[in-house]
Every structure is written in structure tokens, then in C-alpha cells.
Amino acid sequence: MRTTTSSISSSDAVGTPWSGFAKVFLGTAAGLLAGYLALAYAVDPYDSGRSGLFPASGLRPQGPRTAAASRGRDPAYQGAIFGNSHIQLLEPGRLAQATGIPFVQLSVPATGPGEQLVLLDWYLRHHPAPRALVVAADEYWCTNDPALPNAKSFPFWLFSDSPPAYLRGLLRFSVAEEVVNRFGWVFRPGAERARADGWWDYEPDYLKLGYEDDPRFAVKREVPAPDHPEPGRAGPAFPAAQRLAETLRRVPAETALVLVFPPVYAAGLPRPGTPRAAADEACKAAVAGAVRSHGASAVVDWRRPRPELGDPSQFFDQSHYRHPIARALADAIAEAIRDAGAGRR
């Protein structure tokens, strides 16, 4: 009588324990991930308003890229300023004093129209009927690229209206660190807070770097603008202007809208009659056209020859000016807002 024995391979023998371990491991990892996401969402590390765990708004001191989420939803500010470092020195308190409208600075250095339009969208989602908007359009708005690419990283996820995009953003290591920081900050008595209106005076930073005294910076400031436009900034289409027009359709007719072309040092302005000058004027016309489609609008164009723009003592480089020019520009913007009627509401 033959006896048949069934053999079990060594891999089968150990398969069951290993598969059980894998299931436990994956289940534990999934649980930890879900737990972290729940905690991060509840803590709301950048005060985006998505969680009610810490109802008091505000942030610890940090850069404007992330601080804009809290500032942009603050109901105290019925006016907002959008742009990059080329409008950063515009003091919101000066505009508020001149117009009676509380302003917040939502400009973010090293950003272009793509990021700035995201911030405008965020602000409008939380302020559907603002009293005034100030949008600064510099040369970066002249890109031909409809993708409106950004040169430096930006937390688009933080301002997204997509919950999955926001949750994916919370998985970053830097965000996990901020979850811990915010939790500690909220419960620390007298903890330092970020400035609520977003104003950031860059003058001390430039002075520390030697921009006032170092002759090398003075030489760079005097380099004349080329006669030809930069590649990708010659038109004829300027998609940032179209995107702006689409966003502005959500703005109530009563809202004062001011487009600003920020100051440029005289040497950096295009020479009249050159292809660069023609491209710059075409770009400005496209963006201004988008703004003028809104009834209560005005354009403050300081990217053109003006007596004060030829004073080298008022510029750190060709596009970053000092307080006297910033104050004069703020006064011109305030006048434009009053002319649009917002100051009388």
C-alpha cells in the first residue's frame, strides 16, 4: 500500500506569519497616518480657518507665504494689497488712515501672477464684498506662458478649495514641524504674534546687506535696460491679464479696484522707441484693460519716467525703492481709491 505524503514548501510554511505581520504593519501605518492627518487638520498649523479647535486667529511670526492664509481671511480687513516685493513697502496703515478702509498686506516676495491670483482668490472667498483691492503688476505679469509658472516654491495646497489637496499638503515634514510649533504657541502665555496687517519693512534687510554703501550695488543699479524684451515676455498674448479679468468678475461693482504698476529706477526703464518699450506698453495695456472692465477702477502707473525715479538714493536696486517713494505711491493709491468712491461708503 503506497502512502502519499503532501509536501509543504518552506515559503508556504512561513507565508502565513509574514503576511500577518505585513497586515499588522500596514494597518498600523495607516492608523498613524490617519491619526496624524486628523491632528494636523484640527491644529490647523497656518490658521486657515478649516478647523475650529483654536478659534482665536493669529500666528506666530513666519514668512508671508504661509501667514497669508490667516491674514487673508481676517474679517477686520476690508481692503487688501496683492503683489510681491515690488509693492511690499506699501504700508497698509497709511492707506487705512487716508481712506478709512482697514488694509492688509498680502504681497509675497519672489512671486508672480500665478501665486498672486491664488491669494486674490483666497481673499475673495473670505471677503466676497471688499471695499477696496490694490493689485500690483510688475514685469512678471508680462509672461507669455499660460501656466504662469512660479520661480520659487509656493504652498498652493494651503489656499486650495480641494480637501484632498489640502490633506496632501499636510503630509510635508515642514508642516508636521509647524503642527508642533503651533500647538505649543497657542498655549504659551504672551507668545509673540505675527503682525496682523502683514506689513514687512525690507529697508533694514537691504541696509544690513550693504546696499546703501557698497559701490558694486550702485554699479548694477545704473545698468541700462536692454533694447529687446526678455524671452517669453514680448506678447502678443498676456495670459495673466486674462486670468485677472476672470477673477475680477467675482468682485462687486461697488469695490474700488486699483491697478498699480510699481516704480522702477530710471536706468531700468525701457528706452522709448525700442522693442522692449513696445512690449512693456502692450503688457501694461492688456492688464489695465482687464482692470478697466470693472466699473470702480483706476490705474496708477509709476513704471514710467517720473522725476523721483531718477534719484539713486531712493533705490536699493532698480526695482526696490525706499520709504519716501513708498509713501508717495501710497498717497497716490489712496487718492485713486477715493476717486473710485470706496472712501465714501
pLDDT at 25 over 90: no
Burial class (CB in 10 A: 0-12, 13-18, 19+), 281: middle
- With a pLDDT cut of 90, the percent of the chain lying above it is 80
pLDDT at 205 over 70: yes
Neighbours of 133 (CB within 10 A): 26
pLDDT at 344 over 90: no
pLDDT at 1 over 70: no
pLDDT of residue 69: 97
pLDDT at 343 over 50: no
pLDDT of residue 54: 77
Average pLDDT, the chain: 91
pLDDT at 10 over 90: no
pLDDT band at 250 (very low <50, low <70, confident <90, very high): very high
Helix axis angle, 323-340 relative to 92-99, nearest 10°? 40
Q: Which residues contact 307 (CB under 8 A, 6 or more apart)?
A: none
- Cell output for 186: 497657542
Q: Which residue has the higher pLDDT, 13 or 85?
A: 85
pLDDT at 327 over 60: yes
pLDDT at 297 over 90: yes
* 88, 64 contact by CB (below 8 A): no
pLDDT of residue 107: 98
pLDDT band at 18 (very low <50, low <70, confident <90, very high): confident
- The whole-number average pLDDT for the span 44-56 is 86
Q: How far apart are CA 94 and CA 99, in angstroms?
A: 9
* 47, 59 contact by CB (below 8 A): yes
pLDDT of residue 345: 41
Lowest-pLDDT range, 38-47, 184-193, 228-237, 332-341?
184-193
pLDDT of residue 151: 86
What does DSSP assign to residue 321? Answer: B
Q: How far apart are CA 176 and CA 165, in angstroms?
A: 16
* 307, 313 contact by CB (below 8 A): no
pTM across the whole model: 0.90
Q: Are strands 103-105 and 256-261 parallel, antiparallel or unpaired?
A: unpaired
pLDDT of residue 288: 97
- The whole-number average pLDDT for the span 169-191 is 90
Q: Write phi, then psi, for 257 (nearest 5 degrees).
A: -125, 120
Contacts 24+ apart (CB under 8 A), 208-214: 211/316, 211/317, 212/316
pLDDT of residue 21: 63
Q: Decide: helix, strand or coil at residue 297.
A: strand
pLDDT band at 15 (very low <50, low <70, confident <90, very high): low
- The whole-number average pLDDT for the span 259-266 is 98
Q: Decide: helix, strand or coil at residue 133.
A: strand
- The whole-number average pLDDT for the span 19-40 is 75
**Residue from 52, 70, 37, 63 nearest 176 by CA:** 37
pLDDT digits (tens, 9 = 90+) for 153-176: 999 999 999 999 999 999 999 999
pLDDT band at 149 (very low <50, low <70, confident <90, very high): very high
Q: H or E segment at 79?
A: strand 79-82
Per-residue DSSP letters for 239-275?
A: HHHHHHHHHHTTS-TTSEEEEEE----GGGSPPTTSH
pLDDT of residue 306: 95
CA 45 centroid distance within chain: 18
pLDDT at 282 over 90: yes
pLDDT band at 27 (very low <50, low <70, confident <90, very high): low
**Residue from 34, 42, 44, 37 nearest 158 by CA:** 44
